Every structure is written in structure tokens, then in C-alpha cells.
Structure 1
Amino acid sequence: MRKGIGAALFVMVVMAAAMSAGAECDPVQLFPCLGAMSSGQDPSAECCTKLKEQQPCFCQYMSNPEFKPYIDSPNARKVAAVCGISTPTC
């Protein structure tokens, strides 16, 4: 089941990237976090860096019904906490 979630997240990230090409908020930048968000593993340093760079975009991602379940998931909250990022209040 975890592979299915990861694959679905990857497809959604790629689709969003295609829609937001050239925009500052680029969910493809979160790809280094895919493993941690889908499995609950600790995030890599690269993941934390990318999360911090994309932090201003979290509310935009959460307002997208296709992304919200992933961005607001328990694993994503765990990853954010390990990286020292608070969950946004949107």
C-alpha cells in the first residue's frame, strides 16, 4: 500500500509542476521528501532544506484538494516536525 501512496504522490507532484511551471511554488522541489512522507522515515537533510524553501507555499498546496491529504498527513507533519517546521495555519 505504501508504494501506491508514493506513486500517487509522485504523479500529483509532477502534474502540479506542469501546471505551475515557472512559478515560485514548485511542488516538484519536495521530491526529496517523498520517501519520508510516504513511509514515515526520518527526512534527509536535502528534504528539510527543500521543505524550508517551499514553506511559504504550504497553504497554497493545502488549498489544492489533490495535495491536501499528503501535505496534511501524519507522516508529512512528522517530517515537518523533524525538520523544525511548524504546521501552517491556513
Structure 2
Amino acid sequence: MANKAYTLALIAMVVATMLVIEAPTPSMARTKCDITELIQPCAGSFLYNNVPPSKECCNILKAQKSCLCQYKSKYEGYAGSPSAKRVVSACKVKVSC
């Protein structure tokens, strides 16, 4: 149970890091910013280098693009992680905060 909670916390941090790397766009101004939506579809990609992000993971990242800079300010320590950069890059999400 503790291991599962640790894994989910780690995933949330990595996802937050990815989101920090992303820049907001006017078309996404009304997006609901909920980092927990990224945990399940993106977990494998953040934890394992050989797991590419799923289409669902990329779609959620793109939908929450306007939230990524907000996530960056909250989870700044994880924004530079290799996993976060790899997933964001694989999903072709441009980041500039």
C-alpha cells in the first residue's frame, strides 16, 4: 500500500514537471487544471524509459497545456527530470513559461 502511494506521488511529481515545461495558449484558457488526470494514463511513461506515452496521455497533456506553467510553479523540482522532458517531447507539446 505504501509502495503504491509512493509510486502515485512520484508520478504526480513527474507529471507536474512535464506540465511545468509547457506553455499556455489562449485556446486552452478554460481548461480544467487537474494534474491527477495525468497520473493513470501517463504513469508508465514517467516511471519507465522504455514505455512511450499513450495517445490518451498526450491528449491530456495537450488539453492541459495552459496549465503546465501553473504546475511548474508548484512542482518546480521535477520539471527538469529526464522522464518529464522525454514524455513532453514524445507528445510534441511545446513548453515556454
TM-score of the two chains, using structure 1 as the length reference? 0.67
1:57-76 matches, within 5 Å, as 57-64=67-74, 67-76=75-84
Task: Spell out structure 1 runs of 4+ moving beyond 6 A.
Answer: none
How far 1:34 moved relative to its partner? 1.6
Q: CA RMSD in A?
A: 2.7
The answer for the alignment partner of 1:9 in structure 2 is: 10
Report how many aligned residue pairs link the two structures.
76
* Percent identity between the two aligned chains: 40
Cα distance in structure 2, aligned partners of 1:47 and 1:77: 14
Gaps of 5+ in 2: 14-30
The answer to whether residue 65 in structure 2 is matched with residue 55 in structure 1 is yes
For the Cα contact (< 8 Å) 1:62–1:71, is it kept in 2? Answer: yes
Q: Which digits, 9 at most, give the CA deviation of each residue in 1:29-66, with x for residues without a partner?
A: 112112211222210111111111111101000001xx
Cα distance in structure 2, aligned partners of 1:11 and 1:37: 9
Gaps of 5+ in 1: 13-22
TM-score of the two chains, using structure 2 as the length reference? 0.63
